[in-house]
Structure 1
Amino acid sequence: MIGPSATPPALETPVIDHTRPAAADQPAPEFVPVPRTCNRHDGWTAARQAGFIAALVQTGSVRAAAHAVNMAPEGAYQLRRHPRAASFRKAWEAALAAGVQRLEDIAMERALNGTEEPVYSYGKLVGTRIVHNDRLLMFLLRNRAPARFAASQTRVGLVTPSELKRLKKQWRKEWEAELRDPVSAEKVRQSIEDKLAQLRDSIIDRTSPRTALLYAQWQASNAEDARKGAHWWEEDGALYDDGTAPGDYAAVEDGSGG
């Protein structure tokens, strides 16, 4: 327990850097605009490039910064790849780092002080409450001070290297156990036949006596065909009907009929 006069240990890095300028006062990095072959008023003019970099400082988002100057983010990336965009790329990286740092400070501020949410009762606003996000706070602390808060990783769903090593050993043991007791093809075939038999019995249970009798007769006939080696394309045999064929039957068989 920390006494009244005790000073809590400092984090590896400051929680919030109060020496950094506020968002509105954050200066945009200076750079040499990318030269354009055709100076279109609706293209990436020097003023629009400067506005994009300034917006990138404020938002930390390429998409939001591009939309702030009425341009598409794909065009910004294309401009970044220009052979003479070295200064622009350097300003881009600096602005993005400043924007991300500012967003991190905002997240830390919300994690420490919470966010205000409205409270409604019967459809009417009756007040507000402060809601704290403990998961956000632990995430930030784990990244700001990993040595002190590394033990919390497993509690927020992350897998540490030692835990991953343990799981790999467990998975290997399970895999080796499966190899020692393989499932034979005969077991698989028998399992499939058992399931088909259960399905067949359930179908028969839902049929009428007449349909069940016809099905039993079909099974007997099918077993007889299998015993004799009969095939449907064999026209000779006592079980085939000797009815009169249509007049053009022969022509159909040799392919000359319609």
Structure 2
Amino acid sequence: MRLRSDGWNELRQCAFLAELYLTGSASEAARRVGMSRASAYRLRGREDAADFAHAWDAVLTPPGSGRLARPKRDWRKVTTRALIERLEAGLVQPVLYQGRMTAIRRKPDKTSLFRLLRRADAGWATLDRREAGR
């Protein structure tokens, strides 16, 4: 998504999800982060914001009701470049303290790392088979 100073940047999305967790109201959460309820729902409906929609659903899932099934991504169609970008960016997680979002924590995306390693390993195995056939 393109970056806008007045739009739904990463910080605003995390703050919205944290406020949604605390209030349970999309209208109130959007108001607290300085955005409109309509723009939050527009973002949720966008195809390139599927992770945001899933996080929204996960925030509103009552504890103890099980995990929410994330839509399956076909990892064969994700390019190596996209995996590297995802690995470099990492995962974001809001930090809540005393009912407020105080920071954003970045966590390494281990899944992307393992997928890259698997692809590299498969590439070396293919190269070894070609060399052995010569």
Structure with more contact order per residue of length (Cα contacts < 8 Å, sep ≥ 6): 2
The structure with the largest alpha-carbon Rg is 1
TM-score bracket relative to the smaller structure: 0.3 to 0.5
Give the TM-score taking structure 1 as reference length.
0.24
Give the TM-score taking structure 2 as reference length.
0.44
